[in-house]
């Protein structure tokens, strides 16, 4: 699923997630970084990571 914020920024959450707001969304930020945010508090802030950090996270989850 994709959600757009007020700036037109697209955020995605897993299609395996339930319809209610109980997961994390991922989106591309303006500066080329990747952002994570909580679906329960979309205005509560974003955790930005760079490409190298994202690759390390994904590899660590495998």
Q: What is the pLDDT of residues 6-57, one digit of tens each?
A: 454 688 888 777 766 678 889 988 888 899 998 888 888 899 999 999 999 9
12/25 Cα distance (integer angstroms): 5
0.95 surpassed by pTM: no
pLDDT of amino acid 21:
66
pLDDT of amino acid 62:
87
């Amino acid at each position: 699923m994709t959600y757009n914020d007020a700036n037109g920024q697209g955020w995605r959450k897993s299609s395996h997630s339930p319809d209610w707001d109980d997961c994390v969304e991922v989106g591309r930020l303006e500066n080329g970084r990747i952002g994570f945010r909580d679906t329960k508090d979309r205005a509560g802030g974003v955790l930005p990571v760079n490409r190298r950090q994202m690759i390390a996270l994904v590899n660590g989850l495998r």
